[in-house]
Amino acid sequence: MNMIGSLPPESQSNPDRRTMSIAVKFFASLREQVGKADTSVESQTVSSVQDVWELASGGRPMPANTLMAVNMDYVDANHPVVEGDEVAFFPPVTGG
Amino acid sequence: MNMIGSLPPESQSNPDRRTMSIAVKFFASLREQVGKADTSVESQTVSSVQDVWELASGGRPMPANTLMAVNMDYVDANHPVVEGDEVAFFPPVTGG
Amino acid sequence: MTVEIRNQDFDPYQEVSAYQREVLQADGKYGATAVFVGSMRDFNEGDEIRAMTLEHYPEMTEQYLEKISREAKQRWDLIDSLIIHRVGDVSPNEPIVVVAVWSAHRAAAYEANRYLMEELKSRAPFWKKETLVQGSRWVEKNT
Amino acid sequence: MTVEIRNQDFDPYQEVSAYQREVLQADGKYGATAVFVGSMRDFNEGDEIRAMTLEHYPEMTEQYLEKISREAKQRWDLIDSLIIHRVGDVSPNEPIVVVAVWSAHRAAAYEANRYLMEELKSRAPFWKKETLVQGSRWVEKNT
């Protein structure tokens, strides 16, 4: 990530309040709950993965065990997002 | 084994000094050192696996890491022997 | 170091055998091969399972499996590893995953294989949905 | 619970596959199969190895392998196990041993497989004699 350490994430990710476009994916039970697999958010105020969830899920509370990835790397909900990121939300994994 | 606990092994294994016949096997490097794979000892005085080694090997010292089995169960050199036993001597195992 | 996602049934033993013969080409170099096969049971949590659908996150799944394969190779003295994981509709007794690890000595093969499976189970983005006699459910406990 | 000593080359993956299909007959019951294959390397202790002869103690070897198979089954929740071990003249890259363990869940399969291999290596009466470029030697360190 091309963030700088000490600034608050919001001002880093979108310093001049351009409209960012973020691709969003939901998998498995979250896909069924939210009712969509793929969507995108376009916003001037989104700065973290948590913000993306709120916009993309229609404001529903995030289940406690939700896993999140930005550009296919695991992150937590505070992780900043930038224009063009792909953010994914999914329940605990059950492969193998 | 049909031994009784407190008597010394010698008197247990051959109480009335009959001649016992013990089958003996050597494996791997011990077979090559002793120069035979199979033999038997016939004796009135043999009472332990150690005694069997001495008779069957022609009195050579037993290598420190020698493994011993009586009737295909691992034992130590003090283990008593009885008529009809099969006693085997072999070096550390290297299977697998 | 190979990772494959398959959407059709496969024979894990033929896969390992073929990989060893055609790709690994390390005859005489490996003394140890540890193979784990996870296959679909017809019961879970006390219920009969008729079928299963395995969903994954295309690209992230492969990247994650490649990452843990690289980590295993850094951590143990391995010659190679192979992971094949099934997605899509799976029937009872079909293999879900095969992990194979080749090394000179057995400790590395055993330990790396277990490591790969534990990492795969805990973090690789796959999700199972079971079809029961009546209805279906997402698997929640991945024991 | 099967133990076999073989004096001819064999394909460990075909053996496990055939056993599973023809003997085990537990389709849908096992979720985990752990397989270990030990094969002959063409180098050991810094020397090139041309061939190997594997000696064993007929009957004691089988009894010992059956004993550890029973012990594993008592200690872990296993469905079945298979051990095949080679004896006689072995060439580089040929399999020496295959151990396969089937269970409902993976921990039992992994742990029991490792247990069987460690017990086999430390106590099963087999001995390896290596043919070097010049001469031959008994293997002394069984790493």
The tens digit of pLDDT for each residue in B27-69 reads 999 999 999 999 999 999 999 999 999 999 999 999 999 999 9
pLDDT for residue D89: 98
pLDDT at position A2 over 90: no
Percentage with pLDDT > 90 across chain B:
81
Model pLDDT, residue B13? 52
Residue C122 has pLDDT above 70, yes or no: yes
Chain C touching partners, 3 or more CB pairs below 8 A: A, D
Does residue C67 surpass a pLDDT of 60? yes
Our CA-based measurement puts residue A28 at a distance from the nearest CA of chain C, in whole angstroms, of 6
Over residues A18-40, mean pLDDT: 96
- Backbone φ and ψ of B12, nearest 5°: -70, -50
Outline where D20-104 has alpha helix (H). 60-75
Lowest mean pLDDT among B16-20, D53-57, D103-107: B16-20
Q: Residue C142: its pLDDT value, please?
A: 82
- The percent of residues in chain C predicted with pLDDT above 90, rounded, is 95
The encoded tokens of residue A47 equal 């700065």
- Measured in angstroms, the CA of B65 and the nearest CA of chain D are apart by 11
User: Does residue B5 surpass a pLDDT of 70?
Assistant: no
Question: By percentage, how much of chain A surpasses pLDDT 90?
Answer: 81
| A16 pLDDT tier (thresholds 50, 70, 90) | low
Measured in angstroms, the CA of B95 and the nearest CA of chain D are apart by 5
Query: Looking at the predicted structure, is the pLDDT value of residue A8 above 90?
Result: no
* pLDDT of C70 strictly over 80: yes
Which residue of chain D has the CA closest to C14?
Answer: D13
B90/B69 Cα distance (integer angstroms)? 9
Tell me the whole-structure pTM to 2 decimals: 0.92
Burial of B10 (0-12, 13-18, 19+ CB in 10 A): middle
So what's the pLDDT on residue D142?
82
A96: nearest CB among C63, C121, C129: C121
CB-based contact (8 Å) between C122 and chain D? no
Q: Are A95 and C85 in contact (CB under 8 A)?
A: yes
- At B12 the pLDDT is 53
Interface of D with B in 51-110 (CB under 8 A): 54-57, 59-60, 63-64, 85, 96-97
Check CB contact of D142 with chain B, cutoff 8 Å. yes
CA B13 – CA B2 distance, rounded (Å): 9
Strands of the B73-75 sheet, one edge to the other: B38-43, B20-26, B86-90, B67-70, B73-75
Q: Which two tokens stand for residue B42?
A: 């016939």
Query: Which chains sit next to D, with 3 or more Cβ pairs under 8 A?
Result: B, C
For residue C143, name the pLDDT band (cuts at 50, 70, 90).
confident
Q: What single DSSP character describes residue D124?
A: S
Best interface-test mutation with D: which of C106, C113, C116, C143 has the largest number of D CBs within 10 A?
Answer: C106
Where residue B88 falls among pLDDT bands split at 50, 70, 90?
A: very high
- At residue A14, the pLDDT reads 56
Measured in angstroms, the CA of D67 and the nearest CA of chain C are apart by 22
pLDDT of A17 higher than 80 = no
What percent of chain C has pLDDT above 70? Answer: 100
More confident residue, C109 or C46: C109
DSSP E strands: which ranges in A37-82? 38-43, 67-70, 73-75
For position A11, what pLDDT does the model report?
Answer: 45
Say which of C31, C36, C42 has its CB closest to residue D28.
C42
Query: Is D35's Cβ below 8 Å from some Cβ in C?
Result: yes
| Nearest residue, CB atoms, C127 vs list A69, A74, A91 | A91
Mean pLDDT (whole number) for C24-46: 95
Contacts of B27 in chain D (CB under 8 A): 55, 57, 125, 127
Residue D132 contacts C, CB cutoff 8 Å: no
- Check whether C84 has a pLDDT greater than 80: yes
CA dihedral C85, C89, C95, C99 (to 10 degrees): 10
Chain D CB contacts of C13 below 8 Å: 13-14, 16-17
Reported as a pLDDT band with limits 50, 70 and 90, residue B14 is low
Closest to D78 measured CA to CA, from D101, D54, D55: D101
Residue B88 in contact with residue B72, Cβ under 8 Å?
Answer: yes
